[in-house]
Chain A
């Protein structure tokens, strides 16, 4: 029997963060989140390699879209099925990588890692981005601890 992980967040608090992330999910269907590539300089292999990685990334993003759907926006409640857990974990990483290189690009690694940011010094966009960055890290930690101990 497949396991499920259910979580519930305060919908009013989380809604603007998820709305913010939804804004660039489409973009992540068109470009890789990491500077990864094939091991050689063969053009044909390079095309296949990158296309396959992008297709894989699209599935990760789709899993996140499904998890944080309109129902979640209403209730703040979502469920991760065991068979989708890997996709959700990867999707969280894609979003965090994207946030790191865009909205949060001007913030030091150490500050981000320690979480010792002064929210008052962030722009509204950075605040939403940081909220999402922390949210998706927490979700990863939760899934890993419960489903991949």
Chain B
């Protein structure tokens, strides 16, 4: 946190800027279940977009299918947004959530 205190006497406002914005920290890319996409398709998308091995892709696909959601990637915001966009481009239902456990 950075604190900027003006040097202009009593008229200078005291301001503080929180350098840790809402977008910092660790983010989860989450894929949600949908009743349309084929298991083979979801597995293939995980392999293509996230570079997963077939085994990992199938584990996450089954998690989506059985639990309704799966955290498919965790990391910094910018890259999480890139993955989110790519998964959405493949028409999977995907969202970002802040990883609170890493805070």
Of B40, B48, B80, which is within 8 A of A140 by CB?
A: B40
Which residues from chain A contact B95 at a C-beta distance below 8 Å? 39
For residue B72, CB closer than 8 A to chain A, the reply is no
Number of B residues with CB within 8 Å of any CB on chain A: 24
Which residues from chain A contact B89 at a C-beta distance below 8 Å? 53, 56, 90
Tell me whether chain A's interface is mostly helix, strand or loop, or mixed.
helix
For residue A77, CB closer than 8 A to chain B, the reply is no
Which residues from chain B contact A52 at a C-beta distance below 8 Å? 85
For residue A62, CB closer than 8 A to chain B, the reply is no
In B85-103, the 8 Å CB interface with A consists of: 85, 88-96
Closest B residue to A50 by CB, please name it: B88
Residues of A within 8 A of B (CB): 33-36, 39-40, 49, 52-53, 56-57, 86, 89-90, 93-94, 96-97, 100, 109, 112-113, 137, 140-141, 144-145, 148
Residues of B within 8 A of A (CB): 23, 34-38, 40-41, 44, 47-48, 80-81, 84-85, 88-96
Q: Can you list 5 contacts pairing A with B, beta carbon distance less than 8 Å?
A: A34-B92, A93-B41, A97-B36, A112-B35, A144-B38
Tell me whether chain B's interface is mostly helix, strand or loop, or mixed.
mixed
Query: Separation in Å of the B27 CB from the closest CB of chain A?
Result: 8
Query: Separation in Å of the A92 CB from the closest CB of chain B?
Result: 8
A93 to B35, CA, bound (A): 11
A130 to B95, CA, bound (A): 29
Query: Separation in Å of the B57 CB from the closest CB of chain A?
Result: 11
Contact A140 B38 (CB under 8 A): yes
Which residues from chain A contact B35 at a C-beta distance below 8 Å? 100, 109, 112-113
Query: Separation in Å of the B26 CB from the closest CB of chain A?
Result: 14
Contact A93 B93 (CB under 8 A): no
Which residues from chain A contact B96 at a C-beta distance below 8 Å? 39
Contact A96 B36 (CB under 8 A): yes
